Amino acid sequence: MVLTDDRHPPQQEAPFDLRAYLAEGKARVEDALDRCLPITYPERIYESMRYSLLAGGKRLRPILCLATCELAGGTWEMAMPTACALEMLHTMSLIHDDLPAMDNDDYRRGKPTNHKVYGEDIAILAGDGLLAYAFEIVADTTRNVEPQNILRAIARLGRTVGAAGLVGGQVVDLESEGKSDVTLETLNFIHTHKTSALLEASVECGAILAGAEAADLDRLSRYARHIGLAFQIIDDILDITASKEVLGKTAGKDVAAGKVTFPSLLGLDESRRRAKELVESAKAEVSAFGSAALPLVAIADYITSRNY
Ligand code: GRG
């Protein structure tokens, strides 16, 4: 069944309480993450994995996955293992990104980075442990979902973190370091692969698990691509305008490293304008879902209004 219905004009919407929605999503995801990764022998690696996984963060990726599963006719329970997997993959990428061989950062989610606490060797392994566990948890604990849809979600996650996604984006980012002639096209490649890819997978996996039709999935993919790029543009802006205390990570790193970013290429005002334009395009994509898309519409707006 295609979920959109263009025959009816949009109804007057009831106000949607995004703050309560995000708080509930975050609490449910954090409870599931806490329960799925108990400390066992060898304790140090589990402690290191839990240190970063349970360090906070907005939990935007898992919440998007829960939201699209519900939009497509499923439940939060059906999507919770995949939501946890997305947060594990995201956390893994942050741990590895912060390593001295990559971005070399000391501070993340308001705390010292994983390698600062556990050492580089354990931090690498904590990332690896989270990467592997993400796939195990989806395959092992997903309930009330068609097996072929679980397989599709697993494949979607694999494509997202590999060379076609996060790894590829990170490689081009590393290659671009210290270069002043990085083009907007290259910057778009980096951002769509490093950042948008996981947000896109979050949106798509929820809908895949609920068995969404191809046309609905396409619409959701386009929504995700727009919010993913907007998210990274705002990230670039916040690196310049926000403080370390608010961000929970080192501020001003891009400028200090001479990194080419959206604000460095286009200026702050034009970058903000582009992010807003992308958010409007994202909202337009999901408007045909009517009130079922209220969480996605509100999350799109939140992306440009967030301050961390
Ligand atoms: C090892 C398979 C493998 C992949 C890793 C290191 C790497 C390849 C990719 C780097 C990806 C990366 C760190 C992108 C930055 C994405 C980003 C904007 C992170 C900040 O996300 P928020 O603001 O953070 O949602 P919180 O803390 O709120 O979750």
Q: How far is the CA of 97 from the centre of ligand 1 (A)?
A: 7
Query: Does residue 229 lie within any of the structural domains?
Result: yes
Going residue by residue through the chain, which has 308 residues, state the pLDDT in tens, using 9 for 90 and above: 466 655 444 555 568 999 999 999 999 999 999 999 999 999 999 999 999 999 999 999 999 999 999 999 999 999 999 999 999 999 999 999 999 999 999 999 999 999 999 999 999 999 999 999 999 999 999 999 999 999 999 999 999 999 999 999 999 999 999 898 999 999 999 999 999 999 999 999 999 999 999 999 999 999 999 999 999 999 999 999 988 888 888 888 888 888 889 999 999 999 999 999 999 999 999 999 999 999 999 999 999 898 88
Query: Does residue 282 lie within any of the structural domains?
Result: yes
Q: Which domain holds residue 258?
A: 18-305
Q: How far is the CA of 196 from the centre of ligand 1 (A)?
A: 10
Number of alpha helices (DSSP H) and beta strands (DSSP E) in the chain: 16, 2
Query: Does residue 153 lie within any of the structural domains?
Result: yes
State which of 166, 199, 202, 249 you would mutate to test the pocket of ligand 1, scoring each by most atoms of that ligand within 8 A of its C-beta. 166
Query: Does residue 143 lie within any of the structural domains?
Result: yes
Query: Does residue 259 lie within any of the structural domains?
Result: yes
Find out whether 234 and 297 touch, Cβ atoms under 8 Å: no
Please give the Cα distance from 121 to 221 (Å, whole number).
37
Query: Does residue 294 lie within any of the structural domains?
Result: yes
Q: How far is the CA of 144 from the centre of ligand 1 (A)?
A: 30
From atom 13 of ligand 1, which residue's Cα is the shortest distance away? 94
Total domains in the fold of the chain: 1
Q: Which atom of ligand 1 is nearest to the CA of 56?
A: 27
Find out whether 45 and 126 touch, Cβ atoms under 8 Å: yes
Q: Which atom of ligand 1 is nearest to the CA of 60?
A: 25
Query: What secondary structure letter does DSSP report for 101?
Result: T
Query: Does residue 283 lie within any of the structural domains?
Result: yes
3-state secondary structure of 11: coil
The CATH number assigned to the domain holding 60 equals 1.10.600.10
Q: How far is the CA of 247 from the centre of ligand 1 (A)?
A: 14
pTM (predicted TM-score): 0.95
3-state secondary structure of 54: coil
Report residue 93: phi and psi, to 5°. Answer: -65, -35
State which of 33, 88, 90 you would mutate to test the pocket of ligand 1, scoring each by most atoms of that ligand within 8 A of its C-beta. 90
Query: Does residue 8 lie within any of the structural domains?
Result: no
From atom 8 of ligand 1, which residue's Cα is the shortest distance away? 167
- Using CB distances shorter than 6 Å, the residues near ligand 1 are 57-58, 60, 90, 93-94, 96-97, 102, 109, 131, 161, 166-167, 170, 194-195, 232, 235
